[in-house]
Structure 1
Amino acid sequence: MSAKTDTSTPKDAPIEHETAETLLSLVRRLEHELLTTLDADSPQQAVDSLLTSVECLDELDTALAELDPQVTGPLVQRLRLGLDRLACDLYRRGGWQHLDESQRQALLARHAAGLTQVDGIGPASAQVLFLHGISDPERLCQWEPDALDDIEGLNAAVLARLKRELEASRKSGAE
């Protein structure tokens, strides 16, 4: 009987110096872009910097995924959540006005996509919710069910389903 050779890399194997340097560089670049976004003099400048921040996060996500997606995935998801919230807030403050229609649509599709994690919310409904200040499932849960009636553009079936789910989550949270 021959011994099976394990060629996989152990999870606790040290990261190569070059890989560590690349990751550190990407993290520093992302940090710089995020700070630039937060320190911008106007919402328009913040949106321009946000676009670069998203590109940096995409690069970091790709590099981290090569290491261990189970560990790095949740970190990147939280960063994306923060960028989605920032994008939504900037939209609400008029920061997207200087973008052309294709840029606005691309930004909207990208940052509203997290809402499609909610059962029954497709891309179109996610975009409607996003434009009304709901950037992610956590923010959706903060809304009162009846407040959703004020959102134009949701079809009746989606509206009814979301209201039921919000009411059910409120009841289970109160118990």
Structure 2
Amino acid sequence: MNLASPQTLGQTWSRHILDSAQLWVHRRDAQHWLDLGSGSGFPGLVLAILAREDGHSVVMVEGNQKKSAYLRQAIRVLHLPAEVQATRVESLPCKIWETSALVVTARAFAPLGRIFDWTDGFGGGAARALLHKGRGYQNEVAEARDGWTFDLLEHPSSTDADGVVLDVTGVRRIDTQLGN
């Protein structure tokens, strides 16, 4: 199972674990985490390990059944406050976006506009997103603004000179018929 690129295995600590853990610094009032496209568990498993002592919960969304099984086994073995939704992001139940103090995460998942489309702007609720993005993220932001309005803070990545953590709130679809 391809959980990480073979070229990055020698950099597992900095490239995957620390990169995932840096989100914890930006958690503010987060209590519930929703990791989209969890794959190998970055950042979902790392956040669940950090959350163990703080009463936080993590839901990892992964459509690949083999990767979902791996994530479930890791959660079981590590006794983590987490669960796996073995489904595609666009199939998530609407009620998931109503979770209070929700932070949505995604790493190496999809362009920003596509994430908004698949989640309907995180259900139009009060969810906040912390999204890893690399070189060229400005183009993703500009393209997403064609269909969505949102508030954005850019936190420099602590592990990648070209990367950022986008801190996204207030996501709303632009109503093209009304021009706003």
TM over 0.5: no
State the TM-score, normalized to the length of structure 2.
Answer: 0.24
Larger RCO (CA under 8 A, 6+ residues apart): 2
State the TM-score, normalized to the length of structure 1.
Answer: 0.24
- Please state which structure has a larger fraction of its residues in strand: 2
Larger gyration radius, structure 1 or structure 2: 1
